[in-house]
Homo-oligomer: A and B are copies of this chain.
């Protein structure tokens, strides 16, 4: 992997991402690689309409995170956000369980107006990201809708945001995707052109599966070295309901091994938290790298990204 001038060139990398964890990891990758080397393919299974606006929570989290406009501590939304419109919406009796910030509204207004005009989600995403000063390519997984639906014990079937935000992630017994659109233009091509594919520490069920189940994506991934960063550390999820979803959906305890079992043959290697290596003893063919995987800061994300990149480069092509 050397250019004509003998300067080592950067690998071509695709990262699959959901929201907070995946976005933080993508931030590290974006600082470790030149802009043209990295493509982040983002889950849009959480997308929904609210207040008449087209909201793409994971695309926004990735965009705000990569641009450093995001709230670093919270992991989503804009830094220093205000909620004046939300207060007024309360006065008008609107649904306010999903709290859109004032500056954030500009993103949704721009996207909604563009989609209504017939612009694709891919195109408006690129335009917004460029305006935020991002050189990394951010692709939605699809232009057409694919909605993650969660069958819950308590409330029946719920679309993602109602499940996650409105009802605070009640127990799930099954997950389905409503809609089976093609992968967005560039998704398959980016995977085909990649030296390897990295899966950030995102929820496999609701963040990665929607991407991986787009037609042609699994086949494209199967030809590549695919490395996942475990979202389970010491048997627990860093954030969110994954720790409860694994036993409910797989009938096994939450662990890095359960993540590996879920991805199955898709996976070439895994990066796990130091001390969790033992969990993967029953998967001798899986290459494993153990390190500090918790990303509390941008510096943590950059260090982890560099380590994962070095590990993946060492694995070679599948």
Task: Using CB atoms and an 8 Å cutoff, list the residues of chain A in contact with chain B.
Answer: 51-53, 78, 81-82, 84-89, 91-94, 101-107, 109-110, 112-113, 116, 127-128, 131-132
Contacts and interface: CB of A to CB of B under 8 A. Distances in A.
Nearest to A117: B52
A131 B52 contact: no
9 contacts: A51-B110, A84-B101, A85-B103, A85-B106, A89-B109, A92-B106, A92-B110, A102-B105, A105-B105
A127 B93 CA distance: 10
Contacts of A104: 88
Count identical subunits in the complex.
Answer: 2
B52 A116 contact: yes
Given A87-B103, A102-B85, A102-B102, A52 B92 contact: no
A132 B93 CA distance: 11
A113 to B, nearest CB: 3
Contacts of A81: 84
Contacts of A112: 52
Nearest to A127: B92
Contacts of A52: 109, 112-113, 116
Contacts of A128: 92
B109 A53 contact: yes
A110 to B, nearest CB: 5
Given A85-B102, A102-B85, A91 B131 contact: yes
A128 B94 CA distance: 11
A94 B82 contact: no
Contacts of A106: 85-89, 91-92, 94
A162 to B, nearest CB: 18
